[in-house]
Amino acid sequence: MIESSVTAANARQAITLFRNAVNLIRLLQRSAIPRWSDGLTTWLSDERPPEDRDETPFYNDAELEHYREARGWLKRSIDLNPYFPDAYLLLGNAFADIDGDFETMLTYYDRALVLDPDNDEFHNARMSHYLTMGKLDLALDDLLHLERLQSGYAESMRKHYDNAVECGEQ
């Protein structure tokens, strides 16, 4: 049995807060996804980058306020039970989605991986970010870990990685 200062009551409360945050984030995504699809189609058909944040297909101000509330629940969940890796991953996503704070996102991804080092979803999420940022050496570390795990993500992420390497050499 793992020794911990987390009480059963705190663990239950942390799980409740986590679930509340997950449910709210899912509702936000459901309301925003149709707009994202339309926005991306329009944006891609124009073949030009968006000129300002309002033009990008993300969350509107009201949705961001709800997302901040969910982020607060995730923070409180971690305060009550710091051994819950999924909460760290979602908290990282929240910082990226709300504030564009990718450094904090990676900090929380890393904390999640310390607690659950063989979680392929966590490695996949972090690798995706590294590929987007052109940090191919760090992406390769996650890819090799995914391949060692024989993850379902490994094959598609290998293709993404190889494409990124190929584009970088041109």
- pLDDT of 104 > 80? The answer is yes
pLDDT of residue 53: 46
Residue with tokens 């490994």: 154
Report the domain count for the chain. Answer: 1
Q: From CA 156, how far away is CA 167, in angstroms rounded?
A: 17
- Does residue 10 fall inside a structural domain? yes
By the 10 Å C-beta count (0-12 exposed, 13-18 middle, 19+ buried), 115 is classed as: middle
pLDDT at residue number 36: 65
Q: Identify the domain containing residue 67 by its residue range.
A: 1-82
Q: Could you say which DSSP state residue 52 is in?
A: S
Long-range contacts of 158-167 (CB under 8 A, 24+ apart): 160/128, 160/131, 161/127, 161/131, 161/136, 164/131, 164/134, 164/136, 164/139, 165/136
pLDDT tens-digit map of 124-149: 999 999 999 999 999 999 999 999 99
**59 located within any domain:** yes
Helices (H), 47-119: 61-80, 85-99, 102-115
**Is position 165 within any domain?**
no
pLDDT in tens, 21-79: 999 999 998 888 877 666 555 545 555 455 554 444 578 899 999 999 999 999 999 99
When comparing pLDDT for 29 and 15, which is higher? 15
pLDDT for residue 71:
99
- The answer to the question of residue 14 being in a domain is yes
Structural domain contains residue 127? no
In the block, tokens 């051994």 appear at: 83
Q: Would you say residue 2 lies in a domain? A: yes
